Chain A
């Protein structure tokens, strides 16, 4: 068990030996410092560590001011029972604001201890110094006392002395020197407790089911869209404890996590259709249309007059997309509600504000709620941490036990409050001297309050769209524009949004710094020199000069000076900003400047940011290594945002629900980074968590201009956007088709040629006679040898693949097959007399097997492949009968097949049989060897391979001649050709067939999936010799001469797919990104899986099998191979992507896969219809 609970404040104050420093002398005062009798120090801060290392920096500040060893200080952050209420951890404020009282408290404690030491040692105060927690005399007396000595024996509570003198910066030793992060050793060994790792006795697992309006949190539909929840849909889930529905809040609780996950997935909830939203994929129009209130932030000179007189008017618009914080760990929380008290373990950024939300949600006083704050994955703003805490609280209250709730990746992606889109218009131009004539800047920023979601879902608060004033960060440009007007249009949210690193300052700076670059270019002046003409802040000027020098900036007045090589064009760009945070006019955090070097591939449109030189003036740096890491992190994350990141939306919801749809920068793309930290030890420390992100977009866009001569004013700079710019075209955004319902539940057309029946037989045919029921044969009727032969016959026939019970019971029947003629259900073939074949005599069994007539005389449909079985050896059928009769009877009726008229007239099958059934014994070929003949017999009779692998005619009968085993369709899957018409690039050899049938995997082809995986599994009991025989027969179906060995075929196929990757990315850029983010982790560089280009399915004429696999996943090949002991089969399964990729994403990905891995083949037409085909059975189930 991992309790993850901090000691409450009261326990520190009540300790018999302790020195505490608090805001007042009352017991409910805020506690800042506790010094223990052993000399250890505990310090308390209301802000939390979001992964930036603030825990270490705060400990340094405390150690410095107290003059104790750094290692003796432990920080308690955020837990409401212990720490001061210092609001939300936002806006780079921790060092600049919330550390102040802590520092003063440390000083108060130290001066108190010095006074106590002076009394005890009877020395004048001024003769004493503190070093490493020891107070000693400087005057030579051999006397010293440790802090521990002084604390021992009494409990003393001090009140912060606001006048307590602070150490001069010149005396700093701990602050200003790099300290290793205190948390990393535990994190690197799995001993750290994140909120995800909290485990309590009796803890249950919860999951939530979110409404369909994913990522939108205001409007009358919010909290009122749930129509019904069907609890019976999850009644089968083991360990299910509760289904909870309150308004639009829906959650499930189970004893085990996988069961909670299963229940959340299977729970049938009916929702109202979500309302249409404006198109946020190209957010400009939506933001302009959103009602707003202008707020003037600056107005000097006469903008209109100056614009009228400008020599060169330049009106520009900059567009920033919706982006995601993208925490690597989806949010998680644990709640324990009992005896009118709630304790939550949370990764919240806002322990105290969240506690207030919980009190509203649960109608309980704040004092009855304890928030234990534990670290979570980094969030760079706000993620779903508060939401999931409230989820857990609701579920724990419902079940009266502790509940842990883990959001899924798709829930975190879809519902995290996004970084808002932004649109900025700049009107300006040059005056006659080439100076800026005027600067009229207007920025539009949709608000970002994002109330805690369960408050809205349960209807506890009204789902109204509040407007905040947060679009003004760094909205005022840093340059001395004589005629300046700055307006921010405050507006309510559109999508659910919250602050995200460099909130509004990053987009505003994209505009400022791109625009000033354009002015310089138009004026024919070096862009840095131009900036310096109008930059007045001395620290900014110093930083800009130092950064330019560090990067060896070569002044230039136009693009193209760096040239290029091959398809690459080189460029470098500059940008500068100071991040201003807090309410306008705000407070400056660190200053930052970028020189970005890029290489633009003019053929592919790809931009590589090759190097970033980042200068930063952070004032006094508490922990210089920590500052450097923050700069690195900001540079990398913001480069990712600029090049790659944009949230996708349908007309009703967020569609980016995993990392393929929202790709992040990867290691090979990370630029070299040269950090220049300006030493300013005498200046106050400044927040460093966000500043270095702010200049990124303009620096990169300016570098791209330098390389190509083209300005990009909308992000992200994806290859297709860049290519379109290079081609002088507008970017054409393809928006996925709008679907109002959950897209796969839309009514699907009847399609597909499936293992099926025919219906047009016209010859009326007599009902066949029933065969008299008999008693089931006694258990000792048959010899062990006979039963064993029957077992193998059942294996080669894979009877249980089709006749398996819906609950997994062997041969119990009920599996549904969708055919062009309707749904056919497999029958119960266990020896149960009522529901199965228990009262069938052998003649009745044989007639059914060979002629397709049931015991009672009715015709079976040829979904039962009696046309193949007809040729089986008598001895095999007898043995099979014996085996079946020895099975456990299952008294369970399978659903009856009821086809619509005219197919319901089963007697028509008599005519069909007359046309298509050749009930003759299998003909052995004396010219061939015994192995071939054995293989042929197994394949063509009991194995009935042709039932799936042969196309059927309009009447549902297998075609003959060249069509035999040339490929067909079964159960929604294409059963590929087994002969010369096989589509894969490598010829199927005897070895390949053998490996595939035996282990489910052939090196040159890939792994079995879908129904074929079940067949391979069913074949397991067969002796190797029989599998070998089948392989021999199958491999000789292909009689065409093979020019190359499989090895050569494989190598050339792989080479072709590598060569095709650029072209494929051009054909389907989004598909390329989805592949890289969602597929490549397993499908590239994996020596166990076969390369995708070898897989027949990529080379097929239809994408059905590819879509089957994408939608429904594939079981780990190791499970199939387990029985055969194959070496090192893949243990990972392929996940099902149907709930995380939408139709448009599936189509993009499929197009990419085809172009990349079957480069010689035509693009697939009709992927949309194939998606319908694949999803149809799912729609029937749901």
Chain B
């Protein structure tokens, strides 16, 4: 009962840029990001939403690009691993993962970072159990869990420092 739909044009917002792609409406967003937009952050891992290698942020929430048909995206803002940083600055979570060498093969790294960013978006001060629960459905086969947990703990510290620094600068700008 599969209906083939004619390719349609879709306008997407990816990492702050507007792009237009032409594809079958059922096409998984993952293929669009990787093949049409040449973004290597999200990785194909299972195509079933199980492993988390393809995680991206949609409106700040971590979702699995392999199970998102392009037709479902509409105007929502998509952020990939490439779009986390701010120009030349790494996102604090990326910074923390690099400092803690929180990767072996690194194939799951995209999902780990994206899921951690999503966690800190809604819980800036997570406890150990919160972190483990937030990453529960991101699979890592190399066994890098210990380093990843350390990285998320460090990211919490870096994020707080970054937000208090930006709060300070906001205050000084206001005063100026």
A in complex with B = yes
Max chain A Cβ within 10 angstroms of own Cβ: one of B133, B145, B147? B145
Distance between Cα atoms of A204 and B63 in the complex (Å)? 28
Distance in Å: Cβ of A596 to nearest Cβ of chain B? 15
Beyond A330-B44, A409-B45, whether A1181 also contacts B1 by CB under 8 A is yes
Mask of A169-197 contacts with B, CB within 8 angstroms, 1/0: 00000000000110111011111111011
Dominant secondary structure of chain B at its interface with chain A: loop
Beyond A668-B133, A670-B146, A1081-B49, whether A378 also contacts B105 by CB under 8 A is yes
For chain A, residues 623 to 680, give those with C-beta under 8 angstroms from any C-beta of chain B.
625, 629, 632-637, 640, 658-660, 664-668, 670, 673
Distance between Cα atoms of A723 and B53 in the complex (Å)? 34
Max chain A Cβ within 10 angstroms of own Cβ: one of B46, B49, B69, B131? B46
Contact of A190 with B142 in the complex, beta carbons under 8 Å? no
Distance between Cα atoms of A637 and B105 in the complex (Å)? 14
Contact of B49 with A1135 in the complex, beta carbons under 8 Å? yes
Beyond A190-B39, A196-B43, whether A328 also contacts B107 by CB under 8 A is yes
Contact of A1128 with B59 in the complex, beta carbons under 8 Å? yes
Minimum CB distance partner of B52 in chain A? A1081
Max chain A Cβ within 10 angstroms of own Cβ: one of B43, B97, B101? B101
Mask of B113-145 contacts with A, CB within 8 angstroms, 1/0: 100000000000000010111011111111111
For chain B, residues 61 to 108, give those with C-beta under 8 angstroms from any C-beta of chain A.
63-64, 67-69, 71-74, 76, 80-82, 84-85, 90, 94, 97-99, 101-108
For chain A, residues 1128 to 1170, give those with C-beta under 8 angstroms from any C-beta of chain B.
1128, 1131-1135, 1137, 1140
Distance in Å: Cβ of A180 to nearest Cβ of chain B? 6
Chain B residues contacting A1133 (CB-CB under 8 Å) are 67-69, 72
For chain B, residues 17 to 35, give those with C-beta under 8 angstroms from any C-beta of chain A.
23-24, 26-28, 31, 34-35
Minimum CB distance partner of A412 in chain B? B46
Chain B residues contacting A180 (CB-CB under 8 Å) are 98-99, 101
- Would you call B11 an interface residue if the criterion is a C-beta within 8 Å of the partner chain's C-beta atoms? no
The interface size bin for chain A is 35 or more
Distance between Cα atoms of A668 and B5 in the complex (Å)? 42
Minimum CB distance partner of B50 in chain A? A659
Interface segment, one of A26-34, A556-564, A1116-1124: A1116-1124
Distance between Cα atoms of A257 and B21 in the complex (Å)? 14
Beyond A1122-B72, A1133-B69, whether A328 also contacts B108 by CB under 8 A is yes
Mask of A1-41 contacts with B, CB within 8 angstroms, 1/0: 11000000000000000000000000000000000000000
Distance between Cα atoms of A433 and B50 in the complex (Å)? 55
Contact of B39 with A184 in the complex, beta carbons under 8 Å? no
Distance in Å: Cβ of B104 to nearest Cβ of chain A? 4
Contact of B4 with A238 in the complex, beta carbons under 8 Å? yes
Chain A residues contacting B107 (CB-CB under 8 Å) are 51, 194, 327-329, 376-378
Contact of B74 with A1118 in the complex, beta carbons under 8 Å? yes
Chain B residues contacting A629 (CB-CB under 8 Å) are 101, 104, 144, 147
Chain A residues contacting B149 (CB-CB under 8 Å) are 667, 670
Beyond A185-B98, A632-B147, whether A328 also contacts B44 by CB under 8 A is no
Distance between Cα atoms of A375 and B7 in the complex (Å)? 34
Chain B residues contacting A1118 (CB-CB under 8 Å) are 72-74
Beyond A238-B24, A658-B50, A1078-B50, whether A330 also contacts B104 by CB under 8 A is no
Distance between Cα atoms of A131 and B81 in the complex (Å)? 39
Contact of A667 with B104 in the complex, beta carbons under 8 Å? no
Contact of B27 with A258 in the complex, beta carbons under 8 Å? yes
Chain A residues contacting B4 (CB-CB under 8 Å) are 236-238, 807-808
Beyond A632-B143, A659-B50, whether A190 also contacts B82 by CB under 8 A is yes
Partner of B50, one of A406, A625, A660, A673: A660
- Would you call A1177 an interface residue if the criterion is a C-beta within 8 Å of the partner chain's C-beta atoms? yes
- Would you call A380 an interface residue if the criterion is a C-beta within 8 Å of the partner chain's C-beta atoms? yes
Beyond A193-B40, A375-B105, A667-B149, whether A327 also contacts B141 by CB under 8 A is yes
- Would you call A401 an interface residue if the criterion is a C-beta within 8 Å of the partner chain's C-beta atoms? no
Chain A residues contacting B24 (CB-CB under 8 Å) are 238, 258-259
Chain B residues contacting A188 (CB-CB under 8 Å) are 81, 90, 94, 97-98, 103, 106, 109, 113
- Would you call B3 an interface residue if the criterion is a C-beta within 8 Å of the partner chain's C-beta atoms? yes
- Would you call A111 an interface residue if the criterion is a C-beta within 8 Å of the partner chain's C-beta atoms? no
Contact of B108 with A670 in the complex, beta carbons under 8 Å? no
Contact of B105 with A51 in the complex, beta carbons under 8 Å? yes
Minimum CB distance partner of B82 in chain A? A190
- Would you call A50 an interface residue if the criterion is a C-beta within 8 Å of the partner chain's C-beta atoms? yes
Chain A residues contacting B146 (CB-CB under 8 Å) are 632, 636, 670, 673
Contact of A636 with B145 in the complex, beta carbons under 8 Å? yes
Chain B residues contacting A1140 (CB-CB under 8 Å) are 48
Chain A residues contacting B27 (CB-CB under 8 Å) are 256, 258
- Would you call B58 an interface residue if the criterion is a C-beta within 8 Å of the partner chain's C-beta atoms? yes
Contact of A1135 with B113 in the complex, beta carbons under 8 Å? no
Distance between Cα atoms of A659 and B137 in the complex (Å)? 10
- Would you call B173 an interface residue if the criterion is a C-beta within 8 Å of the partner chain's C-beta atoms? no
Minimum CB distance partner of A693 in chain B? B143
- Would you call A78 an interface residue if the criterion is a C-beta within 8 Å of the partner chain's C-beta atoms? no
Beyond A184-B101, A190-B40, A238-B24, whether A51 also contacts B1 by CB under 8 A is no
Distance between Cα atoms of A1115 and B46 in the complex (Å)? 18
Minimum CB distance partner of B139 in chain A? A664
Distance in Å: Cβ of A1015 to nearest Cβ of chain B? 16
Distance in Å: Cβ of B30 to nearest Cβ of chain A? 9
- Would you call A1082 an interface residue if the criterion is a C-beta within 8 Å of the partner chain's C-beta atoms? yes
- Would you call B12 an interface residue if the criterion is a C-beta within 8 Å of the partner chain's C-beta atoms? no
Max chain A Cβ within 10 angstroms of own Cβ: one of B81, B136, B141, B143? B143
Distance in Å: Cβ of A641 to nearest Cβ of chain B? 11
Partner of B141, one of A256, A408, A664: A664
Distance between Cα atoms of A448 and B50 in the complex (Å)? 29
Minimum CB distance partner of B67 in chain A? A1132
Distance in Å: Cβ of B89 to nearest Cβ of chain A? 11
Contact of B104 with A52 in the complex, beta carbons under 8 Å? yes
Contact of A1081 with B145 in the complex, beta carbons under 8 Å? no
Max chain B Cβ within 10 angstroms of own Cβ: one of A2, A266, A409? A409
Minimum CB distance partner of A236 in chain B? B4
Distance between Cα atoms of A194 and B42 in the complex (Å)? 12
Contact of A189 with B85 in the complex, beta carbons under 8 Å? yes
- Would you call A1080 an interface residue if the criterion is a C-beta within 8 Å of the partner chain's C-beta atoms? yes
Distance in Å: Cβ of A55 to nearest Cβ of chain B? 11
Chain A residues contacting B35 (CB-CB under 8 Å) are 199, 205, 256-257
Beyond A190-B81, A667-B136, A1131-B76, whether A378 also contacts B141 by CB under 8 A is yes
Distance between Cα atoms of A1 and B101 in the complex (Å)? 28
Distance between Cα atoms of A1074 and B132 in the complex (Å)? 20
Chain A residues contacting B58 (CB-CB under 8 Å) are 1131
For chain A, residues 901 to 925, give those with C-beta under 8 angstroms from any C-beta of chain B.
none
Chain A residues contacting B64 (CB-CB under 8 Å) are 1081-1082, 1132
Contact of B108 with A1131 in the complex, beta carbons under 8 Å? no
Contact of B47 with A409 in the complex, beta carbons under 8 Å? yes
Chain B residues contacting A378 (CB-CB under 8 Å) are 104-105, 107, 141-142
Contact of A1132 with B49 in the complex, beta carbons under 8 Å? yes
- Would you call A326 an interface residue if the criterion is a C-beta within 8 Å of the partner chain's C-beta atoms? yes
Contact of A181 with B101 in the complex, beta carbons under 8 Å? yes
Contact of A187 with B141 in the complex, beta carbons under 8 Å? no
- Would you call B110 an interface residue if the criterion is a C-beta within 8 Å of the partner chain's C-beta atoms? yes
Distance in Å: Cβ of A402 to nearest Cβ of chain B? 14
Contact of A329 with B47 in the complex, beta carbons under 8 Å? no
Distance between Cα atoms of A329 and B109 in the complex (Å)? 12
What are 26 of the A-B contact pairs (CB < 8 Å)? A2-B40, A180-B98, A184-B101, A184-B102, A184-B109, A188-B103, A238-B7, A328-B53, A330-B46, A376-B105, A376-B107, A409-B51, A632-B143, A632-B146, A637-B143, A660-B50, A667-B145, A1116-B67, A1119-B69, A1122-B72, A1122-B74, A1131-B76, A1132-B49, A1132-B64, A1132-B67, A1140-B48
- Extra pairs beyond A180-B101, A666-B136 (14, CB < 8 Å): A184-B101, A187-B103, A190-B40, A194-B40, A238-B4, A328-B51, A329-B53, A409-B51, A637-B143, A807-B3, A1116-B69, A1128-B59, A1133-B69, A1134-B49
The 3 closest A-B pairs by CB, nearest first: A51-B105, A636-B143, A190-B41
